[in-house]
Structure formats: structure tokens, C-alpha cells
């Protein structure tokens, strides 16, 4: 059976989810309560969790097309120079890539996986955390670089929330 997932957005979807669970076969054959093993029958896992609202494509477009672009267009020489341009080109990177990595390291908390520090992807941030990340960048750019990044409403992204 292929994995199934249901987003409970209506009573009909709830009924479909319950019907799918009720249709699953259950077998006591060969089940050992001591070892919790059942080698003859399948054991099904049903997981119920709140849906996480990750950042939207429009939020991402605002980050890359307005926030990072404004920083790069007004860069006082922190991210781009003739020397760095040559190195970036050779590495197949852009100044936007550098700004993105810099901002992630400055404003996001690293995750440690098997003792290795890994920076989270902005793609996996929930909407509110993503908005906080963007606002942190806007405040930093205004305070440290004197670069004023347009508010989402002014930039035509009023729908991305705060």
C-alpha cells in the first residue's frame, strides 16, 4: 500500500481518513506481547500531527527579489568587489548566494547533526519564523549598512503577512 496523507480541511476528508484507517487489516497471528514482534502480519503506523505552514513562494520571492537585491544594489563593498567577483565566478556562485549564506549564518540558529553544525534552509522555516528572519535582515541592513529595504506592503507583497 502506498503511503497516504490527509489534510483535515472538511468533514468529508475526515470521513475518508477514518475509512482508510478502518480498512487496514489487523492480525494477531504470531504477535508476541513480550518481544512486540509480529513476523507474519503487517503493523501499520498512524501519525496525527499539526500541519506546519512553511514559507510561501511569494515570501521567498520577496527575500530574493527585494531584500537581497536591495542589499546587493546598495552594497558598500562588503559582499562584492573585483576580487570577490572573480572568485565567485570561478566557484560558480553569485553575490546573492554569498548574501544568502551570510544572512543565514547571522540570523538563523544552526542545527547540530551528528556533531556537525548545519545551517537550516530558509525553505523549511515556518511562515512566522521566515518573516522574523526577513525582518532581522531589514533591521540589520538599516542599522549597520544604512540600506533601507522596502517594506513588503510597499514592495507589493502585502499578502505575505508579518
DSSP state of 150: P
What pLDDT score was predicted for residue 39? 59
Give tens-digit pLDDT for 36-76. 555 566 788 888 888 778 888 999 999 999 999 999 999 98
Cβ contact 94:88 at 8 Å: yes
- The three grid cell numbers given for residue 9, joined into one nine-digit string: 480541511
Domain ranges of the chain: 54-155
Give tens-digit pLDDT for 123-144. 999 999 999 999 999 999 999 9
- Average pLDDT of the chain? 87
Whole-structure pTM value: 0.68
Quick one: pLDDT band at residue 109, thresholds 50, 70, 90? very high
C-alpha–C-alpha distance, residues 20 and 119, integer Å:
38
What pLDDT score was predicted for residue 108? 96
Amino acid at each position: 500500500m502506498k503511503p497516504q496523507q490527509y489534510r483535515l480541511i472538511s468533514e468529508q476528508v475526515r470521513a475518508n481518513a477514518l475509512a482508510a484507517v478502518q480498512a487496514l487489516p489487523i492480525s494477531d497471528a504470531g504477535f508476541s506481547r513480550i518481544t512486540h514482534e509480529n513476523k507474519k502480519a503487517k503493523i501499520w503506523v498512524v501519525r496525527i500531527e499539526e500541519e506546519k505552514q512553511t514559507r510561501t513562494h511569494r515570501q521567498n520571492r520577496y527575500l530574493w527579489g527585494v531584500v537581497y537585491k536591495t542589499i546587493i544594489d546598495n552594497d558598500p563593498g562588503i559582499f562584492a568587489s573585483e576580487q570577490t567577483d572573480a572568485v565567485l565566478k570561478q566557484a560558480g556562485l553569485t553575490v546573492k548566494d554569498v548574501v544568502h549564506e551570510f544572512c543565514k549564518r547571522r540570523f538563523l540558529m544552526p542545527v547540530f547533526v551528528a556533531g556537525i553544525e548545519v545551517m537550516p534552509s530558509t525553505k523549511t522555516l515556518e511562515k512566522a519564523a521566515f518573516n522574523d528572519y526577513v525582518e532581522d535582515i531589514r533591521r540589520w541592513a538599516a542599522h549597520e549598512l544604512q540600506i533601507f529595504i522596502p517594506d513588503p506592503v510597499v514592495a507589493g507583497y502585502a499578502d505575505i503577512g508579518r
